[in-house]
């Protein structure tokens, strides 16, 4: 249980710069291979098959280079294919096979369009939508969609403040905000359970829980004030706050795992070099001293010269271990432990029989279903087990019947239960005790007289239930 607000804990545990405060050296530090992996889920809603996103990072770089070549061209009538190839060759080594395949694909998909809609048109221009798509891909692949989540919150608040959207549109935007928080919470939970520390650090750097919390609370207050009598919008705003709390909890869990595992392994890559430099320059002496409070340092070893080592080796004699007999266990004072066990067993059986007789109250049968429900869990299971053990004992005059019906009540502690009936088999607990203490002659006499109940008990010489008479 937390005795402090979650926001305070995040303020203490956040190790990484928020998205808006990241240094320029870190911004965009994602390989093209990682960028393509992040873009697969982004393109999945409109993909035809699993190969919709290329796996070769060179194809992504070719798209960047071609876009820059067309954008930097001074003329407004575009470039020919040969001119674009020459411009790419001036930028560095060019794979002509890759250029041919990617240029033709870009023409077919509209990233590069003919200047005039005529056959055999040789000049091409860049579609601005394709250039904007590259920018979106860079941001999505680098930041993982966090900017889109913040833009969606800003857009929703702007619509409510300006009053330019009806209530149905506001409800749709509130649901979208809640959905994206739920998705990010589930994704972070998966990373906390299965991702490496490095992947978890890279993912956590993108999140700014303080800004998200402020945006959500401001939006919730704005919706509540603008639509005070609309219970549906008020409920959606409240659900948005709940989803933001779940998202923030997973961000905190990610930080805690990095602190626990990274700190235990003394992994100095948990923080960036800029953060170590900032701490060394701006932190106080007390804060810097607190870092090494829990470090274990070996004491300095005394200096020994080689001569002393050789002398110690020559004089060393291994010690002989003398094996001694372990001390005998203390006498517990019990002369007959088996007899004590039998007496405890007999006392427990008598206690169970008296409890069953008390529940019967002189009747031949009693329904215990309601009684067991009232006991709760696990007392009901313990009491039923005791009754079943008593019914299985042939020396006891009780039997337990379990009905075929299954009673289900999810609101009670005992959720599943069959009807339970306790019946008397024609013998009282005192008679059962007397039967257990029959002698060998009495058992033989009962057999000769045809009394099966009397013959059911074994003589004390053979019974483990009467060890106190041995």
Q: Give the residues across from 366 on adjacent strands.
A: 422
Lowest-confidence segment of 20-34, 58-72, 226-240 by average pLDDT: 20-34
Q: Is residue 389 part of a domain?
A: yes
**Together in a domain, 156 and 10:** yes
Does some domain include residue 313?
no
| Contact of 55 with 36, CB cutoff 8 Å | yes
What six digits make up the tokens of 137? 């891909």
Q: Strands across the sheet with 420-424, in order?
A: 365-367, 420-424, 398-402
- The radius of gyration of the chain's CA atoms, rounded to the nearest angstrom, is 41
Burial class (CB in 10 A: 0-12, 13-18, 19+), 160: buried
Q: Would 329 be classed as within a structural domain?
A: no
Q: Are residues 108 and 151 in the same domain?
A: no
Residue 282 within a domain? no
Identify the H or E element spanning 11.
helix 6-13
Q: What are phi and psi of 113, to 5 degrees?
A: -120, 145
Q: What span, in angstroms and rounded, lies between the C-alpha atoms of 386 and 407? A: 21
Structure-token pair, residue 61 = 């770089």
193 occurs within a structural domain: yes
Q: How do residues 408-455 score in pLDDT, each as one tens digit?
A: 778 778 777 778 887 887 544 444 444 444 443 443 344 334 444 443
Q: Angle at Cα 122 formed by Cα 116 and Cα 125, nearest 5°?
A: 60
Q: Which residues does 383 contact at the CB level (< 8 Å), separation at least 6?
A: 372, 375
The alpha helices in 258-322, defined as continuous H runs, are: 263-264, 273-282, 285-291, 306-315
Q: Based on the structure, what is the number of domains in the chain?
A: 3
Q: Is the pLDDT of residue 470 over 50?
A: no
* Encoded tokens for 366: 């009693």
| Pair of tokens at residue 324 | 């001694």
- pTM score of the predicted model: 0.45
Residues 354 and 391 in one domain: yes
Comparing CA positions, the residue from 317, 326, 184, 198 lying closest to residue 245 is 184
DSSP 123: E
In Å, how far are 95, 303, 318, 335, 370 from 307, measured between CA atoms?
Answer: 69, 12, 20, 65, 87
Identify the domain boundary among 230, 249, 264: 264
Which of 235, 198, 242, 196 lies closest to 216, judged by CA? 242
For residues 353 and 390, the answer to whether their CB atoms sit within 8 Å is: yes
Same domain, 345 and 465: yes
Is residue 182 within 8 A of residue 120, CB to CB? The reply is no
- Judged by average pLDDT, the poorest of 169-178, 245-254, 277-286, 380-389 is 380-389
379's tokens? 């007392």
Per the prediction, the chain carries an average pLDDT of: 75
Residue 67 sits in the same domain as residue 212: no
How far is Cα of residue 172 from the mean position of the Cα atoms in its chain? 30
Residue 286 covered by a domain: no
- Please name which of 360, 421, 353, 358 lies closest in space to residue 389, comparing C-alpha atoms: 353
Report which of 104, 77, 73 is spatially closest to residue 86, judged by C-alpha positions: 73
Residue finishing a domain among 141, 173, 202? 141
More confidently predicted of 86 and 275: 86
Give 416-426 pLDDT, tens digit per residue: 777 888 788 75
Higher pLDDT, 273 or 334: 273
| Contact between residue 53 and residue 100 where contact means Cβ atoms under 8 Å apart | no
For residues 430 and 434, give the distance between their C-alpha atoms in angstroms, rounded to a whole number: 6
**Average pLDDT of span 103-122:** 82
Residue 297 is assigned to a structural domain of this protein: no
pLDDT at 386 over 70: yes
Q: Residue 126's beta-bridge partner residues?
A: 112
Distance (Å, rounded) from C-alpha 286 to C-alpha 349? 68
Torsion on CA atoms 157, 158, 159, 161, rounded to nearest 10:
80
pLDDT exceeds cutoff 80 at 108: yes
Beta carbons within 10 angstroms of residue 208's beta carbon: 21
The answer to whether residues 227 and 234 touch, using CB atoms and an 8 Å cutoff, is yes
Co-location of 12 and 60 in the same domain:
no
Per-residue pLDDT tens over the stretch 200-259: 777 777 788 888 889 899 999 999 988 888 899 889 999 999 999 998 998 888 888 877
Q: b/e string for 132-149 if b means 16 or more Cβ within 10 A?
A: eebeebbebbbbbbbeeb
Same domain, 85 and 152: no
- 103 and 69, same structural domain? yes
Residues 11 and 57 in one domain: no
Tokens 């009232």 correspond to: 374
Strands 365-367 and 420-424 come out as antiparallel
One domain, residues 448 and 345: yes
Q: Which two tokens stand for residue 23?
A: 């240094």
**Could you tell me the CATH number of the domain that includes residue 99?**
1.10.10
Same domain? 364 vs 242 = no
Last residue of a domain, one of 111, 141, 171: 141
113 within domain boundaries: yes
Residue 42 lies in domain: 32-141
56 and 15 in a single domain? The answer is no
Query: Which one has a higher pLDDT value, 121 or 348?
Result: 348
For residue 466, give the DSSP letter: T
């Amino acid at each position: 249980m937390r005795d402090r607000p979650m926001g305070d804990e995040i303020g203490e545990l956040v190790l990484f710069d928020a998205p808006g405060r990241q240094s320029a050296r870190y911004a965009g530090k994602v390989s093209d291979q990682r960028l393509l992996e992040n873009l697969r889920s982004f393109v999945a809603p409109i993909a035809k098959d699993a190969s919709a996103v290329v796996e070769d990072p060179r194809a992504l770089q070719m798209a960047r280079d071609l876009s820059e070549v067309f954008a930097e061209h001074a003329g407004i009538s575009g470039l020919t294919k040969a001119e674009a190839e020459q411009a790419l060759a001036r930028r560095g080594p060019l794979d002509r096979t890759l250029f041919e395949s990617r240029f033709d694909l870009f023409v077919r998909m509209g990233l590069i369009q003919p200047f005039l809609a005529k056959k055999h048109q040789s000049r091409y221009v860049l579609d601005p939508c394709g250039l904007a798509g590259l920018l979106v891909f860079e941001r999505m692949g680098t930041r993982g969609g966090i900017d889109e989540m913040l833009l969606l919150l800003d857009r929703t608040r702007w619509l409510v403040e300006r009053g330019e959207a009806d209530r149905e549109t506001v409800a749709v935007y509130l649901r979208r905000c809640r959905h994206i928080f739920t998705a990010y919470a589930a994704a972070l939970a998966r990373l906390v359970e299965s991702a490496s520390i490095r992947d978890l650090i890279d993912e956590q750097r993108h999140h700014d829980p303080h800004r998200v919390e402020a945006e959500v609370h401001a939006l919730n207050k704005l919706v509540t004030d603008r639509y005070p009598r609309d219970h549906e919008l008020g409920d959606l705003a409240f659900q948005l706050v709940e989803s933001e709390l779940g998202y923030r909890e997973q961000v905190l869990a990610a930080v805690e795992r990095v602190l626990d595992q990274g700190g235990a392994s003394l992994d100095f890559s948990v923080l960036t070099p800029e953060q170590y430099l900032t701490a060394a320059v701006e932190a106080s002496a007390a804060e810097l001293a607190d870092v090494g409070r829990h470090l274990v340092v070996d004491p300095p070893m005394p200096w020994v010269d080689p001569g002393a080592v050789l002398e110690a080796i020559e004089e060393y004699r291994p010690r002989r271990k003398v094996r001694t007999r372990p001390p005998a266990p203390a006498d517990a004072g019990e002369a007959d432990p088996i007899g004590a066990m039998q007496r405890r067993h007999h006392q427990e059986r008598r206690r169970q029989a008296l409890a069953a007789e008390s529940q019967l109250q002189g009747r031949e049968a009693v329904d215990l279903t309601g009684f067991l429900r009232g006991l709760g869990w696990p007392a009901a299971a313990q009491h039923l087990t005791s009754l079943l053990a008593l019914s299985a004992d042939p020396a006891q005059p009780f039997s337990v019947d379990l009905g075929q019906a299954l009673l289900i009540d999810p609101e009670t502690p005992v959720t599943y239960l069959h009807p339970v009936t306790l019946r008397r088999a024609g013998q009282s607990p005192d008679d059962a005790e007397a039967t257990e203490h029959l002698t060998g002659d009495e058992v033989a006499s009962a057999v000769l007289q045809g009394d099966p109940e009397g013959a059911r008990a074994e003589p004390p010489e053979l019974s483990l239930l009467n060890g106190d008479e041995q």
